[in-house]
């Protein structure tokens, strides 16, 4: 599996018990969507390696306890610490309207209804209280809050995100 065909799900955060279990941090908007996983990929030495899940239990705040087949001891599990985990992008249902997956809009041009092109999406910063889209406009950073009504259209064909930035925000960043 190639990384380009996958999306970043999170990482192995810490050990969970003494029998090879680990605690995963799921860096996604709705961790509950992944409660029935039977396998995932862990990046080891630059390669995505499949791991089959024996048990998986969601905890709080995006964490899950997981036990993988073949990982039987604390020492086995230590080798997975701080490794990134991925899933194939093909398993995600296609979204429409103004809904999107964070990873899919990276690199999209952003067009504001009032100011036109305001840059390219660098990343989505998924803060629970105030999620943001980080945009780069010729070396200047612009942080756009993901409030209701801000995203007007997601044009996947043309890789374009049409937005209505809150009044004064674009001027604050771009003058």
pLDDT digits 0-9 by tens, 117-171: 999 999 998 777 889 999 999 999 999 999 889 999 999 999 999 999 999 999 9
Domain range enclosing 27: 3-91
In whole angstroms, give the CA distance from residue 124 to residue 166. Answer: 17
User: Is 114 a domain residue?
Assistant: yes
**CATH code of the domain containing 141:** 2.30.30.240
Is there a single domain that holds both residue 49 and residue 79?
yes
Which pLDDT value is given to residue 75? 95
Is there a single domain that holds both residue 7 and residue 87?
yes
Is there a single domain that holds both residue 68 and residue 87?
yes
Is there a single domain that holds both residue 86 and residue 122?
no
What size, in residues, is the chain?
A: 175
For the chain, how many structural domains are there in total? 2
pLDDT exceeds 80 at position 18: yes
DSSP the chain: --GGGEEEEEEEEEE-SSSS-EEEEE-SS-GGGGTT--EEEEEETTEEEEEEEEEEEE-STTEEEEEETT--SHHHHHTTTT-EEEEEGGGSPPP-TT---GGGGTT-EEEETTTEEEEEEEEEE--SSS-EEEEEETTEEEEEE--TTTEEEEETTTTEEEE-PPTTHHHHHH-
pLDDT, tens only, 45-79: 999 999 999 999 999 888 999 999 999 999 999 99
Among the residue ranges 10-14, 26-30, 107-111, 137-141, the one predicted with the least confidence is 26-30
Is there a single domain that holds both residue 83 and residue 108?
no
Q: In this structure, are residues 97 and 154 in contact, taking their beta carbons and an 8 Å threshold? A: yes
């Amino acid at each position: 599996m190639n990384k380009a065909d996958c999306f970043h799900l999170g990482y192995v955060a810490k050990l969970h018990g003494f029998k090879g279990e680990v605690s995963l941090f799921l860096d996604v908007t709705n961790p509950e969507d992944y409660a029935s996983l039977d396998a995932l990929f862990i990046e080891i030495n630059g390669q995505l390696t499949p791991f089959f899940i024996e048990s998986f239990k969601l905890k709080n705040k995006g964490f899950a306890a997981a036990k993988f087949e073949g990982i039987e001891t604390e020492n086995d599990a230590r080798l997975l610490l701080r490794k990134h985990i991925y899933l194939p992008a093909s398993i995600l249902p296609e979204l429409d309207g103004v809904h999107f997956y964070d990873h899919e809009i990276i690199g999209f041009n952003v067009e504001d209804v009032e100011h036109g092109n305001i840059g390219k999406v660098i990343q989505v910063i998924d803060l629970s209280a105030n999620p943001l889209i980080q945009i780069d406009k010729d070396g200047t950073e612009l942080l756009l809050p993901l409030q209701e009504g801000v995203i007007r259209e997601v044009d996947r064909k043309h890789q374009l995100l049409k937005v209505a930035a809150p009044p004064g925000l674009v001027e604050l960043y771009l003058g």
